[in-house]
Amino acid sequence: MMKFRFRRQGNDPQREKIKQELFAFNKTVEHGFPHQPSALTFDPQLQLMAIGTKSGAIKIYGSPGVEFTGLHRDTAVVSQIHFLQGQVRLLGHFLASRVTVLLLLRSCDLLCVGTEGGAIHFLDLPRLSLRDNQSLLLDQVMQSVPEDYRCGKSLGPVESLQEHPQQPGKILIGYSRGLVVLWDLSTRNAEQMFLGKQQLESLVWERSGRSFVSSHSDGGYSLWAVASGNTYTHQPVSSSIPYGPFPCKAINKILWRTTQSGCPVVLYSGGMPRASYGDRHCVTIQQDKQHVTLDFTSRVIDFFTVHTTNLEHDYDDPSALVVLLEEELVVIDLLTTGWPSVPPPYLAPLHSSAITTSCHLDDVPAKLWDRLATAGNSQGTQHAHGSWPICGGKNLAPTPKQQELLLTGHEDGTVRFWDVSAVAMTPLYKLSTANVFHTDSLQEEEWPPFRKVGCFDPYSDDPRLGIQKISLCKYSCRLVVAGTAGQVIVLGLSDERSDHTVDVSTVDLLQDREGFTWKGHDRLEPRTSPAPFPPGFQPLVVVQALPPASVTAVTLHAEWNLVAFGTSHGFGLFDYHRHTAVLARCTLHPNDSLAMEGPLSRVKSLKKSLRQSFRRIRKSRVSGKKRPVPTPTSKIQEANAALADQEEVAPVQRRIEPRSADDSLSGVVRCLCFADTYLRDGTHHGPTLWAGTNSGSVYAYALEVPGVGSGRGSGCVEAVLGKEIQLMHRAPVVSICVLDGRGKPLPEPYQASLDLATAPDMTNPHSVLIASEEQLKVFSLPKVGAKTKFKLTAHEGCRVRRVATVTVCSTAQEDYSETSLVCLTNLGDLHLFNVPVLRPQVRYDCIRKEDISGIASCVFTKNGQGFYLISPSEYQRFSLSAKVITEPLCTVELERPLEQHIRSLH
């Protein structure tokens, strides 16, 4: 017998060129709200806003799509930032113990630095060189203070520095103990001293420069007159403690803005009565008899007003208030009655409630998009008429070729729809599922003049409401959301408000098992009376899995009116056209006691944990020994086992280590898939359902769906087990994808029937691609014979975490594209393979392997992009395609000469 040995092919130059035209890895834009913001500034001339963070990042924002990001070389807290107005340049200060406050003069040539010791130093810009012998020391100021005011005490740190609005070179210096000095930089003399007696927090000039306002630690503020000839001023013109006479928190910052009506707008943070509202995060707006206290759910970092800064104008006339909070940015329209919030086109808090899952849809039909936008616009009771006030720069990016949605599921039972077609991630619509159930929500009373503002809410009424899985059919407008307590809700899109009772069906996944007791949380209690549902997605039916464990997988086939769901106990199939259960399959192993406890259970057995730990240790000690192969249960499995024993392991791969069948949570259903394919024989195709579990089991059911191909009939759906596959290494099944006769993934429901995609090849044999944590494998259908595979275990400990099929278009040939399989591993790297031959194409480092939450949150798009969380409030967007890249393309143009400043920043 002759043996042939084939050499491995070297790199094909032509193929390498094609790969360069198809694939390229780029981290493109960070969507969302900056994590741990620490500083804020605004350039009124260029209409740009900058936010600094505790990690050393500085982000600049203008019109939607105008974004710039800078990162300090070392992780350092950005404590203050200032724009050099009109120059697109920033002055940043990183946390230092001795510096308390910075003042950048309007001329942008001098920086005043206040310190803890009460001294003020002066630095020339842009070189940041210290002016020799010109520092203003505390002793110089003390010499001018009356003897009876000194009382042997220090004036304390410099708390505030403010430049005179009409006379450049004159600054107000506020010391912690209460003294305020009007200092002339040119003569180096104190023109006037204001002998305050309350601990000082902040200062602000009135526009004319004839007065200023000071705020204090007792929760009050004072108006002081500035008059030439008065060396000492002992008393303010007026004082007010708005929320006194009770002990109040300090007013940390105050703004005084003049208007043409003659009534100034006063804005300040803090000042709340300590006993009643000491834990509130508030900014108060007062104008004459109008008084609103904005009540936030996170700490106020800083705020500013958008107003007229032209010195030729007599009034500030503020148009908007911008408040940076620890967890969100809020903009208030000051020109509209009632001072409503302005919806943000970006910087909305993705984490208003903690993100639990996400789902991406590309090429969203215009009709669905418009209906979602209309439903979103109707949400909320008060809308601002003013436009987004931060509107600097120009967005040069072309209009997106398609509209894209990112759906995020949250801990509080909401699903939020985001427009991610471009750089700006804009909220479109919010769905709440809480009103389907009875929950223990607490309704707080509202006390005038308090008004809750913002949408960040870290508290959930009931953790069982958490959304775990989402599936949306963009053609039929059917949505399925599944939650933590086994609830699966099927919803339809409606343009009208509705009051109705939602039907509830239960599917018992343990109906054929005895001796199991659920120790976890109870199911949510559905409402039995009609509930109001606003325009948008409204519930049609609730399917309750029993036991009420968290849903781990869900899939929807709107053309067949079927939804399948899986938990740690098994999977079910539900016909939402007839509101009947079709199938309930238990996947539990007898030793799966942990599956009985649930994610919210507190009764995890210490004995079980120790037993599992010792089992793992024992396994690691014998990892080099050959393990007995479990007895196959079919001829196909016997053939696979024989093939596995004979195969040669390639140098870049590692032999897979079998897992024990009695590992806990082996019954968890990891993935579900509907497909019209060949399962019973090679001549008749039809609907099928595939399910994969944590123990490497794959179940394939043949479905009888009445009227398939001519519209859903009224008959019952039936499911018959067609194949049962057990992967020999028992690694968890991450993904199942059926491929047509050309090796392409089957189109989505309705795509082929609506001529929105090429019809699948039903003449040649189909195959199924099964991805486990340790390998990718293609089986022929209907015989389920192994065709090709790739063991993605080259590195010790490598596990597949996310799998998706993507279509990547060429940059050189307009009509050329390839279907690739992309895998994300627990090491944070991305691998792309040809489909169906599974030939490796490229590999990229994407996420740090230590970033477990980032890896777990990753979601891929069908056009070769992806998103993952880099913080609780930010998505990193990336692209694997050399052609499809969504990134900022913008400019900020200056009117100043090119010789002095940068003409534009790209």
pLDDT digits (tens, 9 = 90+) for 247-270: 999 999 999 999 999 899 999 999
pLDDT at 306: 97
Contact between 200 and 159 under an 8 Å Cβ cutoff? The reply is: yes
Which single residue is written with the structure tokens 């929320």? Answer: 243
Task: Return the residue matching tokens 């600097």.
Answer: 392
pLDDT interval class at 597 (50, 70, 90): confident
Question: What confidence score (pLDDT) does residue 513 get?
Answer: 78
Q: pLDDT-based confidence at 888, cuts 50/70/90?
A: very high
pLDDT > 70 in the chain, percent: 87
Q: What is the structure's pLDDT at 640?
A: 41
Range of the domain at 225: 105-240
In a domain, 210, yes or no: yes
Q: Which amino acid is at 389?
A: P
The answer to whether residue 898 scores a pLDDT higher than 80 is: no
Residue range 13-21: average pLDDT? 94
Instruction: Over range 597-610, report the average pLDDT.
Output: 50
Q: Which of 225, 240, 255 is the last residue of a domain?
A: 240
Within this chain, do residues 117 and 208 fall inside the same structural domain, yes or no? yes
697 in the same domain as 564 = no
Report d(CA 64, CA 710) in Å as an integer: 46
Return d(Cα 698, Cα 634) in angstroms, integer: 14
Shared domain for 571 and 475, answered yes or no, is yes
Average pLDDT over residues 448-468: 88
Q: Do residues 78 and 72 touch, judged by C-beta distance below 8 A?
A: yes
Q: What is the mean pLDDT of the chain?
A: 88
Comparing CA positions, the residue from 239, 308, 243, 231 lying closest to residue 269 is 243
CA distances in angstroms from 653 to 391, 656, 734, listed in the order given: 53, 9, 19
Q: How far separated are the first and last CA of the chain, in Å rounded?
A: 68
Last residue of a domain, one of 240, 272, 299: 240
Query: Residue 96 corresponds to which tokens in the numbers above?
Result: 């230092």
| Domain identity same for 573 and 703 | no
Please write the tens of the pLDDT for every residue from 710-749: 565 678 999 999 999 999 889 999 999 999 999 999 999 9
Judged against a pLDDT cut of 70, whether residue 517 lies above it is answered with: yes
The CA dihedral of 876, 879, 885, 888, to the nearest 10 degrees, is 20
- Do residues 672 and 762 both lie within one domain? yes
Residue 147 is predicted with a pLDDT of 86
* CB neighbour list of residue 1: distance below 8 Å, 6 or more residues apart: none
845: three-class secondary structure by DSSP:
strand
CATH number of domain containing 142: 2.130.10.10
pLDDT value of position 551: 98
In a domain, 514, yes or no: yes
DSSP-assigned letter for residue 464: G
Question: Which residue in 658, 633, 659 sits closest to 644, CA to CA?
Answer: 658
**Confidence at residue 605, expressed as pLDDT on a 0 to 100 scale:** 42
562 inside domain:
yes
Spatial neighbors of 190 by CB under 8 A, at least 6 apart, are 141, 144, 181, 182, 183, 184
For the segment 806-861, what is each residue's pLDDT rounded down to a tens digit? 999 999 999 999 999 999 999 999 999 999 999 999 999 999 999 999 999 999 99
pLDDT at residue 499 is higher than 80? yes
Is there a domain that residue 647 lies in? Answer: no
* Assigned domain for 869 exists: no
- The answer for residues whose C-beta is within 8 angstroms of residue 554's C-beta and 6 or more apart is 469, 470, 471, 480, 482, 488, 563, 564, 565, 566, 672
**Is residue 808 included in any domain, yes or no?**
no
pLDDT in tens, 370-402: 999 999 999 864 455 568 999 999 999 999 999
Q: Does a structural domain hold residue 597?
A: no
3-state SS string for 161-212: EEECCCCCCEEEEEECCCEEEEEECCCCEEEEEEECCCCEEEEEECCCCCEE
Do 421 and 527 reside in the same domain of the chain?
yes
Give DSSP secondary structure letters for 82-145. EEETTTTEEEEEE--SSEEEEEE-TTSSEEEEEETTS-EEEEETTTTEEPTT--B-HHHHHTTS
Residues 581 and 718 in one domain: no
| DSSP-assigned states of every residue in 508-574 | ETTTT--S----SPPPPEE-SS-EEE-SEEEEEEEEEEES-PPP-EEEEETTTTEEEEE-SSEEEEE
- What is d(CA 386, CA 308) in angstroms, rounded to the nearest whole number? 16
Query: What band does 646 get if pLDDT is binned at 50, 70 and 90?
Result: very low
172: burial class by Cβ within 10 Å (0-12, 13-18, 19+)? buried
- DSSP 3-state of 375: helix
pLDDT tens digit sequence for 521-564 = 999 999 999 999 999 999 999 999 999 999 999 999 999 999 99
Closest C-alpha to 466, from 548, 573, 563: 548
The alpha carbon of residue 318 and the mean position of all alpha carbons in its chain are separated, in whole angstroms, by 32
Signed CA dihedral, 371, 373, 375, 377: sign only? negative
Q: Cβ neighbours of residue 125 under 8 Å, at least 6 residues apart?
A: 84, 91, 104, 108, 109, 110, 111
Q: Do residues 871 and 851 touch, judged by C-beta distance below 8 A?
A: no
CB-CB contact of 61 with 49 (8 Å): yes
Distance CA 180, CA 160 (A): 9
Q: How confident is the model at residue 589 (pLDDT cuts 50, 70, 90)?
A: confident
Measured at the alpha carbon of residue 815, what is the angle toward residues 814 and 820, in degrees to the nearest 5?
105
pLDDT in tens, 179-198: 999 999 999 999 999 999 99
Please name the helix (run of DSSP H) or strand (run of DSSP E) that holds residue 621, with its range, or none: helix 606-621
Whose CA is closest to 393, among 2, 787, 144, 47? 47
| pLDDT band at residue 11 using 50, 70 and 90 as cut-offs | confident
Distance CA 162, CA 148 (A): 27
pTM: 0.89
Q: What's CA 67's distance to the chain center, in Å? A: 17
Task: Indicate whether 658 belongs to any domain.
Answer: no
Q: Dihedral sign, CA of 129, 133, 137, 141?
A: negative
Is the CB of residue 311 less than 8 Å from the CB of residue 317?
no
**Measured in whole angstroms, how far is the alpha carbon of residue 149 from the centre of its chain?**
54
Task: Report the distance separating Cα 705 and Cα 561, nearest Å.
Answer: 9
Measured between alpha carbons, how far is 675 from 876 in angstroms, rounded to an integer?
Answer: 32
Burial (CB < 10 A; 0-12, 13-18, 19+), residue 338, is: exposed
**Over 50: is that where the pLDDT of 101 sits?**
yes
536 shares a domain with 399: yes
Pair (412, 518) in one structural domain: yes
Which of 226-235 are b and which e, b meaning 16 or more Cβ less than 10 Å from the residue's Cβ? beeeeeebee
682 and 777 both lie in a single domain = yes
378 & 495 share domain: yes
List 32's β-bridge partners, or say none: 874
CA distances from 628 to 618, 632, 645, 660 (A): 16, 12, 11, 11
For residue 880, report the phi and psi dihedrals to the nearest 5 degrees.
-105, -10
Which of the listed residues 743, 759, 790 is the one where a domain comes to its end? 790
Task: Give yes or no for a contact between 53 and 37, defined as CB atoms under 8 angstroms apart.
Answer: yes
Q: Total structural domains in the chain?
A: 3
Mention every residue, 6+ apart, whose C-beta is less than 8 A from residue 750: 473, 475, 476, 558, 559, 756
